Amino acid sequence: MNDAPTDTAEPIHEPRLWRDNGWTARVIKNEDDEGWAVAMVKDGEPEPALVGPWTMGRDKKNPKPLDTNAFNTLVKTASEVIRRHEQSLQATLHKEIAISYVAGRITVALDIVPDDDDPHALLSAADEAGAELARVKVSAGFRLNRASATAWADGGFGRP
């Protein structure tokens, strides 16, 4: 049985399980110590976007129940974690550098294509107006720096 939430799942508002607005918060026993943790899963995703400590209730044994304010804070935090992860991935896969060239300032960009069968990168150059001057396929391990960008432009934008 697949109990992964879907976009059409009915909202659930229980003390240890809260599902609403595309997210599920589940309070779980913290395996590392005697406390509790909360896992935030975005609907359709196999893994939690966020797992963090959860507050003990007044009896110091059971977890504090989830409520609207706590859930909304958890959604905001988990969404921020996802956004930062996406930004980090984008920064890893895209690099660009501006260099001086005979025709003026150009921007050289390297976009890595993380393909299991054919990992590669696209090296491109654009003028100040954004018009593409060249685009070539290169190794995913190509190092873009000022020297390699200048050498590529000086060489007529052929395959480096």
For residue 8, what pLDDT is reported? 59
- The total number of structural domains that make up the chain: 2
Query: Quick one: pLDDT band at residue 2, thresholds 50, 70, 90?
Result: very low
What mean pLDDT do residues 87-104 have? 90
Residue 7 included in any domain: no
Query: Quick one: pLDDT band at residue 95, thresholds 50, 70, 90?
Result: very high
What mean pLDDT do residues 87-98 have? 92
What are the phi and psi torsion angles at 57 (to 5°)?
Answer: -75, -175
Q: Which two tokens stand for residue 25?
A: 């918060």
For residue 32, what pLDDT is reported? 74
Give yes or no: residues 98 and 145 share one domain.
Answer: yes
Residue 159 included in any domain: no
Per DSSP, helices labelled H in 12-128 are 68-93
What percent of the chain clears pLDDT 90, i.e. is strictly above it?
76
> Which residue range forms the structural domain that includes residue 60?
12-66
Residue 160 included in any domain: no
What are the phi and psi torsion angles at 7 (to 5°)?
Answer: -65, -25
Q: Which residues pair with 52 in a beta bridge?
A: 38
Position 71, amino acid: F
Taking the whole predicted model, whether its pTM rises above 0.75 is answered as no
> What distance lies between CA 39 and its chain's CA centroid?
18
